[in-house]
Amino acid sequence: MYADDELLPLSGLQHIAYCERQWALIHLEQIWDESYDTVRGSLFHERVHLEGYSAAKGVRSERGYRLVSRSLGIAGIADVVEFAADGDAAEAVVRPVEYKVGKLKIEEWDRIQVCAQALCLEEMLGCAVGQGDLFYGATRRRERVVLDDALRERVAGLALRMHELFERGETPRAVRGPKCRRCSLADSCLPEAFDHDAVAYWKEAGFEKASQHALCDEP
C-alpha cells in the first residue's frame, strides 16, 4: 500500500500507455507544451470538472469526483461518477464517465484511464464496478467500456511501471514512430536526435577513422 506522498497522478497512466518518454517529460521533468488539441481538451473539461451533482431518471451524477487507490499508488479526479439502481435488483450501480473532446480511438489509452478510475472506486467504495463510459465530444455519444481482467491487469502493470521510473528518476530514450507526429511534446522531446550516435555522425561526415580514434582518446 502506498502512502500519501507516494501517490502519482492517475492521468499519467494514459501518458505512459502512449509513450514512456512522454510520461517522464511531463511527470518527472515537469515539461508541458500546449497544442491545439490540448487547449481544446482543457476547454472541453472546464464545465464537467466543476464539483457538484445532478440527478435525473434515478441516476445521481457526481462531477469532479476525487479518486484514490493506495494499492496502485494513484490519485486523481473523475469527470463524472454515476450512481444508479439496477432494475429489480435495486443494487447500486457505480459507473465512471470520462469525457474526451475527440472521437473513439482504436488504441486503448482512453479505456485505460476509465478502468483506472473504476479500480479506484472499487477500492474506495468496496463495490464491484464492471463498466465505464467514454463520452466523445466529436460524436456526442457514449461508448461503453467493459472492464475485463486483461484491461485491469494492463492498468496495474502501467501503474507499477510509473512508480519504477519515478523512483529511479529515469527519462527513457525516445523511440521515434508515427505517434511522435501527434505528440504535443515533440519539440521538447526531439525524437529525431536519438536516430544517430556520435560514430554515425562522423561517418556521415566522412571522418570514420578519425571519429573512432577520437572516441577512444581520453579528455
Residue 67 and residue 64: Cα distance in Å, rounded?
9
Cα–Cα distance for residue pair 211/168, rounded to 1 Å: 33
Cell 441516476, residue located? 59
Read off the pLDDT of residues 2-46 as tens digits, 9 standing for 90 and up.
Answer: 999 999 999 999 999 999 989 999 999 888 665 545 545 555 555
**Least-confidence region, from 73-77, 78-82, 87-91, 202-206:** 87-91
Question: pTM to 2 decimals?
Answer: 0.77
- pLDDT for position 40: 54
Helix runs in 82-173, H state only: 109-125, 149-168
Tell me the per-residue pLDDT of 146-176, one tens digit each, with 9 for 90 and over. Answer: 999 999 999 999 999 999 999 999 898 887 7
Q: How far is it, in rounded angstroms, from Cα 98 to Cα 69?
A: 17
How many Å apart are CA 138 and CA 132, to the nearest integer?
Answer: 19
CB 170 within 8 A of CB 2: no
Reported as a pLDDT band with limits 50, 70 and 90, residue 137 is confident
Reading phi first (left if > 0) and then psi (alpha if -120 to 50, else beta), residue 73 is in left
Where on the phi/psi map is residue 64: left (φ > 0), alpha (ψ -120 to 50), or beta?
left
